[in-house]
Structure 1
C-alpha cells in the first residue's frame, strides 16, 4: 500500500513538472491570435466583401496552413465553403481595424471546389454537389 501511495505521489509530481515545462512566461514575439482570422470578413482588392472565415486549419506541427471561407448565399443559406492557403490571405490595417484581403473575387471563389465539414472524421471533405 505504501508503494502505491509513493508511486502516486511521484506520478503526480511528474505530471506537474511536465505541465510546468509546457507553459510560457510570455507570449511569443510577433504572435497573433486565431481571433484575428476566425469569423472575420475577407475582402477582395477592390474592398468588396468575399465572405467570412469559418475555420482555421492547423497541421500536426501546429502550423496554420489553410482557411475555410464561406462565400455566396444569404444569411448562411446557399453558402459554399472553400479552402484557401493561409499565406494567400493578407492583413492590412484600415481605420484602426484589421482587414483581411485575398487577391480573388467572390465569383472566382464560387467556382472553386467546395468542402463540407465531416463531424465523424473532424475534417473538411470535398462537397460533391
Structure 2
C-alpha cells in the first residue's frame, strides 16, 4: 500500500511540474506593448490623419507582421480596412506626445485592396467585390 501511495504522489508531483507556467523575471529588451499601436491614429508625413489601427497581425512565432488600418468613412460607416506591413509604420514625437506615421496618403490607402474580418475563422480575408 505504501508503494502505491508513494507512486501516486510521485506521479502527481511530476504531472504538476509539467503544467507549471514559465514566467519572465524581466521585460524583454527592446519590447513594446500592443497598446502603442492598437486603436491609435495614423498620420501621413504632413500630419494629416489617415485612419486608425483596427488590429495587429502576429505570426506563429509571435512577430508582429502587419497592422490593419481603417481608412475613410465617418464614425466607422463606410470605412475600409487595409493591411500595411508593420515595418512601414513609424512612431514620432511632437509636443511630448507619441503618434504613428505612415508614408502614404489617405487616398492611396482608400484605393488599396480592402479586407474584412471573418468572425468564423477569426482571420482577415480579402474583400469580395
Fold match by TM threshold 0.5: yes
| Counterpart-to-counterpart distance in 2, 1:31 and 1:110 | 31
Alpha-carbon separation, structure 1, partners of 2:121 and 2:64: 19
Which residue of the partner structure matches residue 104 of structure 2? 104
Relative to the length of structure 1, the TM-score reads: 0.91
What does residue range 76-115 of structure 1 map to in structure 2 within 5 Å? 76-115=76-115
**CA RMSD for the aligned pairs?**
1.3
Distance (Å, rounded) in 2 between the aligned partners of 1:31 and 1:6: 39
Q: In the alignment, what sits opposite 2:12?
A: 8
- CA deviation string 1:65-122 (max 9, x = no partner): 1000000000000000000000000111111111100000111100000000111111
TM-score normalised by the chain length of structure 2:
0.91
Which residue pairs with 1:46 in the alignment?
A: 46
Q: Give yes or no for the alignment of 1:35 onto 2:35.
A: yes
Q: CA–CA distance in 1 between the matches of 2:37 and 2:69?
A: 10
Question: Which residue does the alignment assign to 1:116?
Answer: 116
Report how far residue 8 of structure 1 moved: 2.2
- Give the SS at the match of 2:30: coil
1:59 aligns with 2:73: no
- Which of these two proteins has the greater Rg computed from alpha carbons? 2
Instruction: State the distance in 2 between where 1:48 and 1:13 align.
Output: 54
TM-superposed CA distance for 1:9, in Å, is: 2.7
